[in-house]
Structure 1
Amino acid sequence: MNTTSPQKPKVKICGIRDLQTAQVCKEEGADYIGLNFAPSSPRNISVSDAQKIVELIRSQNGSPEIVFLFYKNSPEEIQSIRSILDHDLVQWIWDDPKLTSVNREELLGPRQICSYRISAPVSNKDLQFLPGEFLILDSDSREAGGGTGKIFNWDFISGIERRFLLAGGLNPENVISAIQAVKPFGVDVASGVESSPGIKDISKIIQFIRNAKSAL
């Protein structure tokens, strides 16, 4: 009989832009926080504000790990930000046109998370070529790098064995049912814990993390 307790889902809160929100994420047990450097995103963060958040997180032991998100950033900008700011992982979008002709491993580093947009059923074979420690499976939106607030058909990813974070339209109200239905490695949220685009709602973040961690 296997008496091992099931692992609690990992939680990533993306688009953090201020110290208070970062501190709440840490106190509530978020596993990852995302700092979004995509120039067109309402969650875009400046290098100076990102530095303050990095210093706060690094001044305390333990999680969360710091994830830098790039989408349609120039390779030069990515290289510059990565060289200036301490971080754990780099998240990038599979179809980012700025990254089609570069050495991604050299530019993005050894610890990567590849975000892949789902618009049709996918198999393990379809995803085997994607690099990274784990994937983020998100709704399909060509205008943005994520944070659209749209749910995709979870049946499209049934049977996927690789570790992934489920993203796309999650919020405190539906995250438990999403985890129970999909059984992902973890969940990723941006707009679902906001009061308006780019403005995080502390109470929603707290409820999201607590609900996700309780969804076994």
Structure 2
Amino acid sequence: MSQTPKVKICGLRQVDDLKVSIEEGADLIGLNFVSTSPRLVSPKEAEILVTYLYTSVPSFLRPKIVFLFYKSAGSYIESILKNLEYDYVQYVSDDCLSPGYTSPLYQDRDSRILSYRVRGPVSDDSLSFLDSNLLILDSYNPSAGGGTGESFPWEHVSEVKRPYLLAGGLTPENVSKALQQTGAYGVDVASGVESSPGIKDPNLIRKFIQNAKRSANNGK
């Protein structure tokens, strides 16, 4: 692996945790608008984080902003997207209206990330119905759209060559091995950098990003 992996820190709720993520070079940060998640941010909390990014962080250091929705009302999603700056909208693929198509609000594949929950071996062909330039390949749990801390066998994605962020059960301890084994474009973490559900640990954020970025120099 030669290209430095992209790192997404998902479920941020505090400016201090956002600062740590930026200091260590996070490429994307995720704000979770899922009502059942311990990482849920209110529109006001999200506004504070987004405002900080646009007023206090130089553009060349600013990570991409990802808004995550799952089983959310269309009117709620529309109000969030209308009032806050963002770069990507993240969906769980089986939450779309039909395979490969999301709500008419989000038809630009450049600004959409589809999360696919892996239940067995997949390939570019089997994932071709997912109409977004970047995927997230996550573990499957019937009761949650993600963020469960559960992993899946990484060999299931060994045939996937299109850009994706590997997710599911990643921690500072295993992220380097995960990247070397899969050759993923990047990684996505939420619970793996928390001291308890929804509470980020700044030391774990630092270690996760550092270990992920170092993996580019360790070979595959």
Say whether the fold is shared (TM-score over 0.5): yes
User: In 2, Cα distance between the equivalents of 1:68 and 1:120?
Assistant: 27
- Identify if the C-alpha distance between structure 1 residues 152 and 96 changes in structure 2 by more than 3 Å, giving closer, same or farther: same
- Identify if the C-alpha distance between structure 1 residues 10 and 66 changes in structure 2 by more than 3 Å, giving closer, same or farther: same
State yes or no: 1:86 paired with 2:85: yes
Matches within 5 A, 1:29-178: 29-59=25-55, 60-61=57-58, 62=60, 63-96=62-95, 99-100=97-98, 104=102, 106-108=104-106, 110=108, 111-178=111-178
2:11 aligned residue = 15
How far is 1:143 from its partner?
1.1
In structure 2, the residue corresponding to 1:24 is in which secondary structure? helix
| Per-residue Cα deviation, 1:113-136 (whole angstroms, up to 9, x for no partner) | 000000111121111110112100
How far is 1:189 from its partner?
0.2
Is the contact made by 1:114 and 1:132 (CA closer than 8 Å) also made in structure 2? Answer: yes
Can you give the 5+ residue segments of structure 2 that lack an aligned partner in the other structure?
Answer: none
User: In 2, Cα distance between the equivalents of 1:81 and 1:100?
Assistant: 23
- Identify if the C-alpha distance between structure 1 residues 162 and 127 changes in structure 2 by more than 3 Å, giving closer, same or farther: same
In structure 2, the residue corresponding to 1:171 is in which secondary structure? coil
User: In 2, Cα distance between the equivalents of 1:94 and 1:13?
Assistant: 20
How far is 1:105 from its partner?
5.9
How far is 1:108 from its partner?
2.4
1:185 aligned residue = 185
Is the contact made by 1:10 and 1:185 (CA closer than 8 Å) also made in structure 2? Answer: yes
1:196 aligned residue = 196
Can you give the 5+ residue segments of structure 1 that lack an aligned partner in the other structure?
Answer: none
| Per-residue Cα deviation, 1:181-214 (whole angstroms, up to 9, x for no partner) | 1110000000000000000000000000000000
In structure 2, the residue corresponding to 1:142 is in which secondary structure? coil
> Aligned-pair RMSD on alpha carbons?
1.7
TM-score where L is the length of structure 1: 0.93
- Identify if the C-alpha distance between structure 1 residues 105 and 74 changes in structure 2 by more than 3 Å, giving closer, same or farther: closer
1:6 aligned residue = 2
User: In 2, Cα distance between the equivalents of 1:47 and 1:89?
Assistant: 16
Is the contact made by 1:138 and 1:168 (CA closer than 8 Å) also made in structure 2? Answer: yes
In structure 2, the residue corresponding to 1:138 is in which secondary structure? strand
